Amino acid sequence: MLITLIYRSHIRPGTSYQTIVDMVKSANDRNMQMGVTGVLLFNGIHFFQLLEGREESVKEVFDSISCDKRHFNIVELLCDFAPFRRFGNAGMELIDIRLHAQDDCLASVLERGTTKHKLMYNDRALRFFRTFIESTETENYYELPDKSEWYFTSETIGLKSLTDSSLIEIKPVVDPLAQHVHSFELIPNVQSQNSEELFLADITSKRDAFFFAGKFILAEQRISVSLQPMTLIEVPGSVETLLDYIQSSNLIPEQLIIQFSERAIISDMNKFTLSVRKLKSAGISVAISDFGAGYSGLSLLANFQPEKVKIHHDLIRNIHKDGSRQAIVQSIIHCCEKLEIRVCATGIEQPEEWMWLESAGISCFQGSLFSGYDENNQLHITWPNLISDNHDN
């Protein structure tokens, strides 16, 4: 089947214009042999290219393009099936948009169309062209440094995830550039024999978690735990029980963040919302976790407006090179900024993911890039440092 792929990238400093011309000539011949056609725009800083052809051929060409050292910050903006080719005359044709007035450039792109009908900018793929030519999204072109410009230093926290403990994991939530720990997420081992016992086990597991936290948490630090929304609905006096656990563990409510998964089922929104209000009135903060993975995230935001939203790792994975994920996460960030809700990105594994999200305005992170356990089962946190800063010192 025929697919259309569009990407944007940044020219590597020091790459001459003649190098680009030679590259286009060589790529044109190669692409035509593979049955891949398209157009390449260049504005002096960024490349913008559309590729069309059989799926396996386009993917092979794009994989080769992604390995080319003459550009970086490669972001796939669109990859979708198409009924026809829009530009079928050349394997790669270069349009230097600096040589055209904006309207002339827009018209020049349409004139290269090879479809039976006249190309128009109501076509989704061509709307990407218009956006690039009109430079309406350049503030979202985050120019990330190469990951080789960073090195990471590890700090041992001195906490053990004991095999005989009721806790199965401790996950720090950090601000990497400030080298500050926002909170520690405690994940209790909730065991129940059947669904009827699940919600009671959910609430009672917090007793051991709070007791554990009370032994190491500092006055200025916070802890977070996940709670099933249905626990608040099905277990009588659940809020009061949590407050009793907090008091007996030498913690205060303001140190606690209760997070609810967007994917969780809520059978009675009114009863759940009332319980959340009780939590907030007691001083406990509320967060939505797995945001973007379920179906009720916007509804939850509208109903009880949490202090924090934790974006699910599926939306974070490879975000530095995925335009669709970038657009979705930017929308979440902008929405939460309007509501003064802090955004946390979870499941961070790659430096590039963190760098893009940091550039987008997130400063709260969780994932294996920043924390884990060593061979002695000691929890450690890893902080990023710029190599240039180290040389300056």
Q: What are phi and psi of 251, to 5 degrees?
A: -110, 170
187 in Cβ contact with 171 (< 8 Å): yes
**Dihedral of the CA atoms 322, 373, 344, 205 (nearest 10)?**
130
For the purposes of burial, counting CB atoms within 10 Å of the CB of 374, is it exposed (0-12), middle (13-18) or buried (19 or more)?
exposed
pLDDT, tens only, 221-245: 899 999 999 999 999 999 999 999 9
The pLDDT assigned to 327 comes to: 96
298 vs 249, which has greater pLDDT? 249
Q: What is the β-pairing status of strands 37-42 and 93-96? A: parallel
pLDDT, tens only, 22-71: 999 999 999 999 999 999 999 999 999 999 999 999 999 999 999 999 99
- Specify the 3-state DSSP secondary structure of 209: helix
Whether pLDDT at 165 is above 90: no
Whether pLDDT at 167 is above 70: no
Whether pLDDT at 313 is above 90: yes
The pLDDT assigned to 161 comes to: 47
Q: Which two tokens stand for residue 226?
A: 């996940």
Query: Phi-psi region for residue 10, left (φ > 0), alpha (ψ -120 to 50) or beta?
Result: beta
Q: How many CB atoms lie within 10 A of CB 7?
A: 22
Mean pLDDT estimate for the chain: 91
**CB within 8 Å of 289: residues ≥ 6 apart:** 226, 259, 260, 261, 262, 310, 312, 346
DSSP letter at 226 equals E
Most confident stretch, 206-220, 255-269, 294-308? 255-269
Cα–Cα dist 138/97, whole Å: 15
Mean pLDDT lowest among 53-57, 215-219, 362-366: 215-219
* Mutual angle of helices 195-216 and 238-248, in 10-degree steps: 30
* pLDDT, mean of residues 290-295: 88
What is the band of 346 on the pLDDT scale with cuts at 50, 70, 90? very high
344 in Cβ contact with 358 (< 8 Å): no
The pLDDT assigned to 217 comes to: 85
One-letter amino acid for residue 311 of the chain:
I
The pLDDT assigned to 374 comes to: 82
The pLDDT assigned to 299 comes to: 82
Whether pLDDT at 248 is above 90: yes
DSSP 49-82: EEEEEEHHHHHHHHHHHHT-TTEEEEEEEEEEE-
What is the band of 285 on the pLDDT scale with cuts at 50, 70, 90? very high
* pLDDT, mean of residues 156-181: 76
152 in Cβ contact with 390 (< 8 Å): no
Whether pLDDT at 265 is above 70: yes
Whether pLDDT at 282 is above 80: yes
Q: Which domains does the chain carry? A: 2-140 (3.30.70.100), 148-392 (3.20.20.450)
**CB within 8 Å of 316: residues ≥ 6 apart:** 325, 329, 345, 346, 347, 348, 353, 357
What is the band of 159 on the pLDDT scale with cuts at 50, 70, 90? low
The pLDDT assigned to 18 comes to: 97
Question: How large a percentage of the chain has pLDDT more than 90?
Answer: 74
Most confident stretch, 114-123, 198-207, 267-276, 282-291? 282-291
Q: Calculate the alpha carbon distances from 368 to 149, 178, 245 in Å.
A: 19, 18, 30
What is the band of 164 on the pLDDT scale with cuts at 50, 70, 90? very low
pLDDT, tens only, 75-90: 999 999 999 999 999 9
Whether pLDDT at 274 is above 80: yes
Locus of tokens 């029980």:
241
